[in-house]
Amino acid sequence: MVPFPRSPGRVLRFCLLLLWFGASASAAPTLSEARWRALRTAADPARLYTLLYALPKGGDLHNHLAGSNLPEWLYACGTDPARNGGDVFYVRARFASPPGAIDPAQRFATIRRYQYEALPPADRAEFVPLAELTPAERQIWLDGLRLDQPGEGRKEFFNVIWARFIPLWRNPVVRLELLAENLKAYGAEGMVYLETQFDLNGLADNDGAPIAPEAALPALRALLARPDVVASGVTPRFQVTVLRFAPDAEDKLAEAFAWVDAHRDLWVAINMAGIEEDGFGYPLRFLEKFRELRARYPEIKLSIHAGEMDGPDHHIRDTLLLGATRIGHGVNLLKDPDTLLLLQGGERAYVEVNLISNRLLQYTPDLSRHPFPEFLRTGVPCGLNTDDRGMWDSNLTDEYYTAVTLFNLSWVELTGLARSSLRHGFLEAETKEKLLADYENRLARFESRLAEGTPTEALDRLAAATRPVTYGYARRNWGLAFPAAP
């Protein structure tokens, strides 16, 4: 016990002492910026990548699960009966007509057995079972599901890639297996929360009979309780996403409200995605509908894609008016200064930044001109996310590596990203507090590992204990390949 002092000077010193004790007991030890700079100077690209892979991370808040599957995972599930419920997939890989005469989305497109069996014999002749593709055909199939070539951009992404694999995604066993695969891969790179755009709509059994979302729910709950999935360490929560340009988008929005309201333990928000332009997908189209639905349901959080556009507009402002508290992308925010001012220094909305997506879909082909550092350093709450990482052939570490190398993030900026992502997740408060507390503990341990010995020794130690995994994006753009080829 500390005896209480009697003279005023002693009282002041005593209070300062207590403050000091209090501060040192509650604040997490922080790596100094000087040490972070020394580590960066000592690290070659592979060591820096390894450090960022091992870095404790928070959540990925902007993620489309259907677009997050590495083509190799799709292949593995598509060819393993134990992971696809005994279905068989066929690929249109051998063509009767010249390649130019076939819609690109139909080249190396995948269908399910029931669809194959319904084809006329002449059409069937163009298809090969996925497992029987030649090595060269398999490579074309894999590459056809990612943006890996110069010149592939928005058109390839929106009009071609999705159409090629959606039948695989309608298989309920495959869909759940891919969710598990994502959780494990994200857990391996230090992430603890995935708020993904994922639902149980559009499923069909191996005979093509539709499966109602409610009927698929027990299998989802069983998957989330599976020991290997729990061991990933990643807490998943879901959003229902409505395609904003669809003629019946208002009806879909009403269905989304009903679903989320009835399944609030797993589904935490509604999103709207798809092209904002062209006269159909603009935000204000939905204002009346949102107001009508808000009058019927207790609060449902909204994260809505907005400002994923080339030119200036007021879509982000209009999306705030819809009630969104998270904005997906926000690429053109700097072109709407009034809305930028509204978001700076406040908690009105969080911007979900997706650097690699914005580059590959050519919204910011030169990432050094991306507005992210302006958001980060002028007080717009924001964080890094993966969007459709399967199609970019990348992971969350690639986003961090991009930000650190292009924008020279300080240690406080870098580690604040994870904290901020957890704070802005839509998950229930109790779990959020736990994840935030865990994050501070994990970060403190990580910092003490980085602080020990010379910078080179610390990096060597970390490299010996970390097994990073990279995909094609890191290889193509930075020459980084983990695990290293034997």
Tokens 């990643």 correspond to 234
For Zn ion, the closer of residues 197 and 397 by Cβ is 197
Interface of this chain with Zn ion, residues 350 to 389, rule: CB under 5 A: 387
For Zn ion, the closer of residues 387 and 398 by Cβ is 387
Q: How far is the CB of 63 from Zn ion (least distance, A)?
A: 8
Q: How far is the CB of 172 from Zn ion (least distance, A)?
A: 23
Task: Output the CA–CA distances (angstroms, integers) from residue 322 to 96, 106, 364, in the order listed.
Answer: 50, 37, 26
Interface of this chain with Zn ion, residues 154 to 213, rule: CB under 5 A: none
Q: How far is the CB of 331 from Zn ion (least distance, A)?
A: 11
For Zn ion, the closer of residues 152 and 447 by Cβ is 152
Reply yes or no on whether 308 is catalytic.
yes
Say which amino acid occupies 214. Answer: E
Give the whole-angstrom CA distance, residue 301 versus residue 304.
Answer: 10
Give the whole-angstrom CA distance, residue 478 versus residue 47.
Answer: 13
Give the whole-angstrom CA distance, residue 218 versus residue 221.
Answer: 5
Q: How far is the CB of 110 from Zn ion (least distance, A)?
A: 23
For Zn ion, the closer of residues 127 and 193 by Cβ is 193
Q: How far is the CB of 142 from Zn ion (least distance, A)?
A: 23
In terms of Cβ atoms closer than 10 Å to its own Cβ (0-12, 13-18, 19+), residue 172 is buried
Count of residues of this chain found to bind Zn ion when the rule CB under 5 A is applied = 1
Interface of this chain with Zn ion, residues 385 to 444, rule: CB under 5 A: 387
Residue 301 phi, psi (nearest 5):
-70, 150
Interface of this chain with Zn ion, residues 226 to 245, rule: CB under 5 A: none
For Zn ion, the closer of residues 60 and 387 by Cβ is 387
Nearest to 178 by CA among 73, 89, 86: 73
From 189, 195, 308, 447, the catalytic residue:
308
Q: How far is the CB of 337 from Zn ion (least distance, A)?
A: 25
For Zn ion, the closer of residues 358 and 397 by Cβ is 358
Residue 69 phi, psi (nearest 5):
-100, 120
Q: How far is the CB of 244 from Zn ion (least distance, A)?
A: 12
| Catalytic residue list | 308
Residue numbers at the binding site for Zn ion (CB under 5 A): 387
